[in-house]
Structure 1
Amino acid sequence: MPTPPPSRADRRRATETRILDRARELFAERGFDRTTIRAVATAAGVDPALVMQYFGSKRELFTQAVQTLPAPPADLGSDALVDQLLGTLGLKLGGLPEGALAMMRSMLTDPAAAEYVRDALGRQIAGIGGALPEAEDAELRAALVVTALLGITIGHQLLGLAPLSDAPADRVAALLRPAVRALVEPRADAAGGDEGPAGP
């Protein structure tokens, strides 16, 4: 029995997916400001009016295209948390989803993108901070971890810094491990790290 032709709803979903895929690629390559509806439509092989009909505006298209930032980690012990954080870094250095790259490229020039990233990072900070109940400054420690990993990701993925680009991800993670461990294990620096300079 022959396969029935795709329904109108199926064709619409396929077209929307194609538009979102092309938009994700262009936003990642050019950022929000330099990506146009016309360019997305051309890349997707559709009329610009159809993009507007499906998504309403470039802002809504962008919002739907970039909803791929990773969720915060679950509540873990410190060893598992360090492993998960460094494992996530390995994935980031191996290549981020186009939506995440688009958001990162746009966050310094587009206020809405910046707000989206701020919210996503805030959830990550809350998740990591929740795994550090013994630390009085858990939120600060979590923010330092998250922003350090973000900076490394930007240097590797968007700036292409040669020392980062040339180094294997496991080597980067190995060098970072003591610093991340010091941040997520408060007792590791309690013996002398917070006492300040010795007297004369």
Structure 2
Amino acid sequence: MWESRAERRRQTEERILAEARRIFAERGYDRTTIRAVAAAAGIDPGLVMQYFGSKQGLFQQAVELPEIEPLTGDLAQVTEDLLGRIGMKIGPIPEASLAMMRSMLTHPEAAERARATLDGQVEQIAATIDADDPRLRAALMLVTMLGVTIGVQLIDLTALRDVPADRISEVLRPAFQALAQMPIDRP
């Protein structure tokens, strides 16, 4: 069957992006090279540059993530939705997400993209908290989730390795509820 030039180009671009996601996920931004991506995709490095312009351009497209469902409802619903996402955080996650996580500590653009996403989620959670310092409380809930994700996905923390998502949620639920509602004693 005959394939059009546009179809071959699209397939090559998808192959490059798939390999880039895999390698960025394994190595992070700093340790990923255009040559390594090209070799894995079975093409010349110049072709990667032709398609994406630069390593930065390749990274931007490789880590495009689908929109995250907004957190809505009252505090109880938002807490349950947030805890419900633990299964996604500790199970297999998309390589684009893993690439972003692995890169966000060393690459400014990855850090900015992660910060923008997390800042939006902090605002969604804070809007449901009727206590002092709602943004601080929301941020602490969210970084707890981020810590669980990093502990499982990047560090492979032994104590979390075989723990089911529902057990982690069960343990975190009272902590999140207390964090969102407990008065803060100030000196």
- TM-score between the two structures when normalised by the length of structure 1: 0.86
CA distance in 1, matches of 2:170, 2:113: 30
Question: What residue in structure 2 maps to residue 51 of structure 1?
Answer: 48
Query: Which AA in structure 2 matches 1:51?
Result: V
Whether the 8 Å CA contact 2:89–2:148 is kept in 1: the answer is: no
Counterpart check, 1:123 vs 2:113: no
State the distance in 1 between where 2:67 and 2:128 align: 17
Deviations 1:93-135 (A, max 9, x none): 0122111111111111122221121111111112222333x33
- Residue type of the alignment partner of 1:175: V
- The alpha-carbon deviation at position 195 of structure 1 amounts to 4.1
Q: 2:133 aligns with which of 134, 137, 142?
A: 137
Gaps of 5+ in 1: none
Question: More deviation in 116-125 or 5-14?
Answer: 5-14
Equivalent residue number for residue 152 of structure 1:
148
Task: Verify the 8 A CA contact 1:38 1:48 in the aligned structure 2.
Answer: yes
1: CA distance, partners of 2:155 / 2:185: 38
Structure 1 match to 2:7: 10
CA 1:157–1:69 in 2, change beyond 3 Å: closer, same or farther?
Answer: farther
Q: Which residue of 1 aligns with 2:161?
A: 165
2 CA distance for matches of 1:179 and 1:43?
45
Q: Against the structure 1 CA distance between its residues 126 and 69, is the aligned structure 2 distance closer, same or farther, given a 3 Å change threshold?
A: farther
Gaps of 5+ in 2: none
For 1:98 and 1:110, the matched residues in 2 are separated by 17
Question: Does the 8 Å CA contact 1:73/1:128 hold for their aligned counterparts?
Answer: no
Measure, in 2, the Cα distance between the counterparts of 1:7 and 1:36: 30
In the TM superposition, what whole-angstrom CA distance separates every residue of 1:120-177 from its partner, at most 9, and x where no partner exists? 1111112222333x33422111111111110111111100110011211211111001
Cα contact 1:66–1:102 (8 A) shared by 2: yes
CA distance in 2, matches of 1:174, 1:194: 24
Q: Give the Cα–Cα distance (whole angstroms) in 2 for the partners of residues 119 and 69 of structure 1.
A: 14
**TM-score, normalised to structure 2's length?**
0.92
* Matched residue SS, 1:166: coil
8 Å contact kept, 2:122–2:139: yes
What is the distance in 2 between the residues matched to 1:20 and 1:32?
A: 14
Question: What corresponds to 1:23 in structure 2?
Answer: 20
Report the equivalent of 2:175: 179
Letter in 1 for 2:3: P
Q: Which residue of 1 aligns with 2:95?
A: 98
Question: Counterpart of 1:12 in structure 2: which amino acid?
Answer: R
Matched AA of 2:147: G
Equivalent residues, number: 187
CA RMSD between the two structures: 1.8
% identical equivalent positions: 53
Larger CA Rg, structure 1 vs 2: 1
